[in-house]
Amino acid sequence: MSVVGFDFGNQSCVVAVARQGGIVAVPNDESKLKTPSLVSFGDKQRFIGTAATASCLMNPKNTISQIKRLIGSKFSDPELQRDLESLPFSVTEGPDGYPLIHVQYLGENKMFTPTQALGMLFSNLKSIAEKNLNAEVVDCCIGIPVYFTDIQRRAVIDAATIAGLHPLSLIHETDAIALAYGYWETDLGENEVMNVAFVDAGHASLQVCIAAFKKATCQRLRDCCERVKKILGANPEVVSGYIKIEEFEQISTSILERVKKPLEKALADAGLTIQNIHSVEVVGSGSRVPGMIKILTEFFGMEPRCIFIPVLALSFNVNERFPFPISLTWKTPDGDTQSRAGDVQYADVSELQAPAEISRYMIGPFQSTNGQKAKLEVTVHLNLHGIVSVESATLLEEEEVDVPFIKESDNEPAKMETNELPADPDPPSAADVNMQDSKTGAPAAVNGMPELGDKPIQMETKVDAMRKKVNKKTVPVSEVVSGALAAPDVQKAVEEELEMALQDRVMKETNDMKNAVKSYAYDMRIKLHGKYHDFVMDSEREQLITSLQEVEEWLSEDGKDETKDVYVAKLEELKKQGDPIEESYKEHTERAAMYDQMFSLAYYINCHREAAISTHPMFDHIDAAEKQKVLNECAEAEAWLRGKIQEVKEKCEALDRFCRPIMTKPTPTPAKPATPELTSPAPFQGSESQPQGANNAGYGPGQDTEAGVGQEVPAAAAAEPMEMD
């Protein structure tokens, strides 16, 4: 299965797949590689991506844009408040303190979270990938800015879940650029480190990454990014005019000067100077701004390159680092000694325009069985997506257990029996045994030998030793993420997305069928005056043209807003009149083509045969055996063609023999009324008797009948085989 990647931006998105040994960007329905990041709501359906471009101007209050800037931002965020002043759609504060978007959909006022809007956009990108791959798409990789916080990353995961996707990884956009550059760049030293600065100047944000490259090694030193204001904001007044590039750079100087701050910060965090930078690469839509290139050139002392990277599909492992440190604090809730509360926060929010709080965890309840202070072992994990979570908690309790030690004979080494603890690998020495014997009252041995007699003494020694044992017990962990959608809310959003997608599909099929009716009426009217003219009677033509005009008027008036079934019925009604005409034209075209092929075969037979029997000098170099093969092949083709002509002749005769007796039956003579018998006068001498069945004498090939006036019927007798010279 192909791997699918989504690069969603504030202005547009790109879908790419791994195919044919490389990464290929796939086009959308309009054959464009970039899909607008727009979601528009109409009276009956949604318009997403390229379909929402027109709605952005015609229906701005119900068209959601700037989704990337709304994701994971609190409604009280000052930067979000500045953005809302330029947005045409309505945004209010939700119960959780995060924004809610208001639109008119299906005649009702609907509210959607930015996460749901992003899920709709992902659904459109998913359909683009599925159309190009002709397969279902589930697993994907999504590029995100490095400055995305924990709540923003969770929102992207939830949006992908709403769209029916399973993100394998949320990769930083700057990391993706650096990795692609590392595989593409061939001018890498064997041992020397080459530092490259990557500047991603997007539609509404700026990211800077400094990466160190070695031969066959790609190591990211540090990503540093800061969000900046939108370079171009919405203007309530539409002004048309021209502006010179110098004037544009002058009025945007204050904005472009902000580019220097993240550049300086990136160098400081990486511990490098400008002299350590080997090259500067620029990506993003901001790379087309001359003022941006000018500032980068002045800062680094070299002209940056606007790169286009032909990425190869290679396997590699990426261990990303995240620029924002995280702290964890724990405390005991008031009056509750059987649980612990943990807070996960950002350690430093001075450079992060987001709340410090990430999530809160409750561990417990638990109870210590030995009455001592409980010890908890907590596992905290930062996963591949950059999301921090408390995975598990374990209660650790120590208890002392008896460990019996038994010695049965001095001729055998002492063995230690333990309960749930491993045995001592080293057996006790003889001195140890004597020391233990002395403690039990047995006679002491001198130099390891017993005192009494020559018989060895049989001894049994048992000593109880105390050892510590650690018991582990799993403790339940509950999680409350600040601003994230709960699992029931995500499931509800998935169901709503399925319902809206079904409504979109129904309306699309309805519009397609309506367009099919309109297209059929238009095309058929043109064809009736064109290539179908000789294949329909004048009365039938006028009747069908009238029906087509009535349907076109109906589509513009009463039939403007009907269901799919009504359009299907209307199309079938028109096709009942038009299909016979199309079939007649098709049969005529195929018959003419068949005749042309038969004459072509006869022509080729004659040409090749004449060339084979010719005595012209130009054929002297051809061997007689080869010419004989040509003659044999021509004779075989001629025999096949004569056979086919004979089959047609026999079929014509058989059809005539069957149909003529039926169709030439004489008309029954009506019964004569009873009349007085009269003497018949002598027949006129100049008259001739009328043969029986004379009233049907007009039936036959080439004659006009009442059943088909003006229709020419081929005579069976005229079907003679084609003569070949």
8 Å CB contact between 143 and 6: yes
Q: Which amino acid is residue 440, in one-letter code?
A: T
* Residue reference for tokens 């509210």: 111
Q: What does the mean pLDDT of the chain come to?
A: 76
- What's phi and psi for 697, nearest 5 deg? -65, -20
pLDDT average, residue stretch 515-533 = 90
pLDDT in tens, 593-604: 887 888 888 888
Question: Does the structure show a pLDDT above 60 at 413?
Answer: no
pLDDT in tens, 29-43: 888 999 999 999 988
Q: Examine residue 302 and state whether it is found in any structural domain, yes or no.
A: yes
Domain of 437 in residue numbering reads as: 325-446+455-484
Question: Does the structure show a pLDDT above 60 at 306?
Answer: yes
Do 329 and 424 fall within a single domain? yes
- What's phi and psi for 143, nearest 5 deg? -85, 130
Q: In this predicted structure, which of 244-248, 390-394, 565-569 has the lowest mean pLDDT?
A: 244-248
- 3-state SS string for 212-232: EEECCEEEEEEEEEECCCCCC
Which of 36-40, 414-418, 531-535, 640-644 has the highest average model confidence (pLDDT)? 36-40
Select from 464, 461, 410 the least CA-distant residue to 436.
Answer: 461
Task: Enter the pTM of the model.
Answer: 0.64
Q: Which amino acid is residue 410, in one-letter code?
A: D
SS3 11: coil
Q: Are strands 166-172 and 206-214 parallel, antiparallel or unpaired?
A: unpaired
Look up residue 547 and give its two tokens: 């029906």
* CATH number for the domain that contains residue 31: 3.30.420.40
Do 369 and 474 fall within a single domain? yes
Q: Give residue 190's pLDDT.
A: 60
**What number of other Cβ atoms are within 10 A of residue 24's Cβ?**
16
| Peptide bond between residue 413 and the one before it cis (omega within 30 degrees of 0) | no
Look up residue 716 and give its two tokens: 């069976």
Do 374 and 459 fall within a single domain? yes
Look up residue 461 and give its two tokens: 């020694």
Please report the sign of the dihedral spanned by the C-alpha atoms of residue 144, residue 145, residue 146, residue 151.
negative
Q: Give residue 675's pLDDT.
A: 63
Do 154 and 25 fall within a single domain? yes
Q: Give residue 572's pLDDT.
A: 92
Do 25 and 159 fall within a single domain? yes
Q: Alpha-carbon distance 677 to 506, whole Å?
A: 84
Q: Give residue 516's pLDDT.
A: 93
Do 290 and 360 fall within a single domain? no
Do 50 and 70 fall within a single domain? yes
pLDDT in tens, 69-110: 899 888 988 888 988 988 899 999 988 889 999 999 988 999
Do 427 and 540 fall within a single domain? no
pLDDT in tens, 45-76: 999 999 898 888 888 899 999 899 899 888 98
Q: Give residue 370's pLDDT.
A: 66
pLDDT band at 166 (very low <50, low <70, confident <90, very high): very high
Domains identified in the chain, total number: 4
Among 544, 579, 595, the domain-final residue is: 595
Q: Alpha-carbon distance 248 to 200, whole Å?
A: 21
Do 353 and 479 fall within a single domain? yes
- The runs of H, that is alpha helices, within 384-486 are 430-439
pLDDT band at 535 (very low <50, low <70, confident <90, very high): confident
Among 576, 595, 614, the domain-final residue is: 595
Kindly state the percentage of the chain with pLDDT values over 90: 20
Question: Does the structure show a pLDDT above 50 at 433?
Answer: no
Question: Does the structure show a pLDDT above 50 at 448?
Answer: no
Do 235 and 253 fall within a single domain? yes
Question: Does the structure show a pLDDT above 80 at 153?
Answer: yes
Q: Give residue 243's pLDDT.
A: 60
Element (H, E) at 467: strand 461-475
pLDDT average, residue stretch 239-253 = 63
Do 36 and 106 fall within a single domain? yes
Q: Give residue 189's pLDDT.
A: 59
